[in-house]
Amino acid sequence: MGLSTMFRKAKPAIQLEHRSAEEKALVRRLDMFLLTFGCISQVINGMKEDLNLYGNELNYFTTYFNIAYCLMLIPSQAIMTYVRPSYWLTGLEITWGVITGLMALTKNAKQVYVLRVFLGLCESSAWPGMMTLLMHWYTPMELAKRMGFYHSCQTLGYMMSGALQAAIIATLKGKGLSGWRWLFVINAIMTVVWGVLGFFMLPDVPNNPNPRAFWFKKVDAELAMERLARHGRAEPKKLSWAGTKRAFSGWTLYFIAALYIATVHAQGGYQYFNLFLKALKNPDGSKRWYVNYDL
């Protein structure tokens, strides 16, 4: 069951496979709807000045988010085997969009702490949920490129965040709300709207496709199941105690967990360090360090 089963049963693809016109059309539609939905990311930043926060409070924002995120990772994946991804993933995205909007109403750090916990609980579904869907729909020869593109789009979103923040703050600051509050309002609207579209964009799983996905046909489900069988992939199933035991008894789970932890620790420190740098002031009250360039 799950990732360990996929690794155990997958057959090595040593040469390019021949794909029919129908299969190529299915992959194009998957790219257009499933992959596009997964590549939309949200960006939030820049609250310190209006809430009169100090460095550690900014770090706690990330800490509380990460704790909640970790606690909900496995339960979210388990729930997704019983609830349609088009309900679960998009429902949580809409919820975290609403929570993002509530951030604009906060008056102090404690209120932000609470919202960040709920934000972490909701966002914990996004990355592993999308990775699971991609593995259900794409073959080994197709998967690496899509996963790489997905991660590249996330990085592109981070790169563009500074320009987006500068544009919103320069345009809307002082028009009823502080600039950073407008950031959360606009981000919340974008997230909720995109979440609603997800009800019609996500195809769910091949053996139980989304009936609301207007772009998906019955023959597509049959073709997707044939693709799974061709590459030795097990069809999606509900989580069971037997599957859980099998996953925890294999080496794959622990090996991937170790790699992931190493990756997160290697690059995750900047989240705290940037906030620490932002909190430092010169004697005259001006910023000592800049962690972003204003455009």
- Residue 198 in tokens: 């997800």
In a domain, 176, yes or no: yes
| Mean pLDDT of all residues belonging to the chain | 79
Please indicate, yes or no, if residue 135 is contained in any of the structural domains. Answer: yes
- Please say whether the beta carbons of 38 and 134 come within 8 A: yes
Mean pLDDT score, 40-69: 65
- Better-predicted residue by pLDDT, 121 or 278: 121
User: Among the listed ranges 10-14, 132-136, 170-174, which one has the minimum average pLDDT value?
Assistant: 10-14
> Is pLDDT at 143 greater than 70 in this prediction?
yes
For residues 143 and 278, the model is more confident at: 143
Question: Quick check: helix, strand or coil at residue 281?
Answer: strand
Q: What is the pLDDT of residue 181?
A: 83
**Domain for residue 50, yes or no?**
yes
Q: Name the pairing type of β-strands 208-209 and 204-205.
A: antiparallel
pLDDT band at 31 (very low <50, low <70, confident <90, very high): confident
* Rounded Cα–Cα distance for residues 89 and 94 (Å): 9
Higher pLDDT, 153 or 246: 246
Copy the structure tokens of residue 56. 């550690």
Which one is predicted more confidently, 32 or 166? 32
| Residue scoring higher pLDDT (7 or 126) | 126
Identify whether 276 is part of a domain.
no
Query: Quick one: pLDDT at residue 99?
Result: 93
Q: What's phi and psi for 208, nearest 5 deg?
A: -155, 70
Statement: residue 2 has pLDDT above 90: no
Share of the chain above pLDDT 70, in %: 76
CA distance 271 to 283: 25
The residue-averaged pLDDT of 263-285 equals 67
According to the model, what pLDDT value does residue 118 have?
A: 95
Determine the average pLDDT of the residues in 156-163: 70
Question: Is the pLDDT score of 238 beyond 90?
Answer: no
Query: pLDDT at residue 7 above 70?
Result: no
**Cα dist from 152 to 145, 157, 229, 293, whole Å:** 10, 9, 30, 21
Lowest mean pLDDT among 29-38, 97-106, 160-169: 160-169
Assigned domain for 141 exists: yes
For residue 14, the model assigns a pLDDT of: 45
* Contacts of 40 by beta carbon, 8 Å cutoff, 6+ apart: 194
pLDDT at 82 over 80: yes
Q: Would residue 4 count as lying in a domain?
A: no
pLDDT at 79: 93
Report residue 92's pLDDT band, with 50, 70 and 90 as the boundaries. Answer: very high
Residue 197 falls inside a structural domain? yes
In a domain, 179, yes or no: yes
Using pLDDT thresholds of 50, 70 and 90, give the confidence band for residue 18.
Answer: low
Structure tokens at 276: 């620490």
User: What is the rounded average pLDDT of the residues 141-166?
Assistant: 78
- Strands (E) across the chain are located at 204-205, 208-209
Specify the number of domains making up the chain.
1
Residue 3 clears pLDDT 50, i.e. is over it: no
Two structure tokens written together for 155: 């990085």
Mean pLDDT to the nearest integer, 102-125: 91
Structural domain span for residue 227: 21-240
The domain that holds 215 is classified in CATH as: 1.20.1250.20
